[in-house]
């Protein structure tokens, strides 16, 4: 399985990956609002302040994805929570991992970990120190993976803008952590 930067021809594969996982876990699919970012990956997650990767299987199908978004360092110490514009955030973070999903048929091969490591490597390369991670409480396998990578849980929130009002865990992932 190949992890590589997103290309425009990956658009349908990214939508399929994220939508499949959403429906698998019983989340609503809102293409015009909450999920609209996956229909415009180039605009939403393009350089110079963001990056997006896909996992391509041997047949050329996109079976996973993840992104990195840079942000100004949030106030406070890593491991604390901070409220910004009415939203709970992970303090002390200077980037965020976004849209990390792997299709069910491709799980069990360490792809989530490899995507996370790719994100961590890019964050390290651009001088970032702490990644903000938000993961729906239903995604327990993802939580365990993040913790194995060195992340620690710092709080929870209802995901902002989510019509399902799903609860998610917030983690801080130190970039210097070695998997």
- Per residue in 30-56, is it b (16+ CB within 10 Å) or e — as a string? eeeebbeebeebeebbeeeebbbbbbb
Q: What is the pLDDT of residue 177?
A: 46
Q: In what order do the strands lie in the sheet with 95-102?
A: 2-5, 50-56, 62-70, 95-102, 130-136, 167-174, 152-158
Instruction: Please state whether the predicted TM-score (pTM) of the whole model is above 0.85.
Output: yes
**Mean per-residue pLDDT over the chain, rounded:** 95
Residues in the chain, pLDDT under 50: 177-179
- In the CATH scheme, what architecture does the domain 2-174 have? 3-Layer(aba) Sandwich (3.40)
* Cα–Cα distance for residue pair 172/132, rounded to 1 Å: 5
């Amino acid at each position: 399985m190949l992890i590589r930067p997103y290309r425009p021809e990956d658009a349908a594969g990214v939508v399929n990956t994220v939508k499949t996982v959403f429906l698998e876990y019983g989340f609503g699919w809102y293409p015009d609002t909450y999920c609209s970012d996956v229909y415009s990956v180039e605009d939403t997650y393009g350089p110079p302040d963001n990056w997006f990767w896909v996992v391509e299987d041997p047949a050329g199908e996109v079976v996973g994805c993840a992104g990195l978004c840079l942000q100004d360092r949030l106030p406070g110490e890593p491991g604390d929570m901070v409220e910004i514009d009415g939203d709970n955030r992970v303090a002390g973070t200077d980037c965020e991992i976004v849209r990390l999903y792997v299709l069910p048929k491709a799980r069990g091969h360490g792809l989530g970990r490899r995507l996370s490591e790719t994100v961590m490597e890019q964050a390290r390369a651009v001088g970032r120190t702490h990644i903000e991670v938000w993961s729906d409480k239903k995604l327990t396998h993802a939580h365990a993976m993040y913790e194995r990578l060195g992340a620690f849980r710092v709080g929870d929130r209802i995901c902002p803008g989510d019509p399902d009002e799903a609860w998610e865990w917030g983690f801080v992932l130190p970039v210097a952590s070695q998997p």
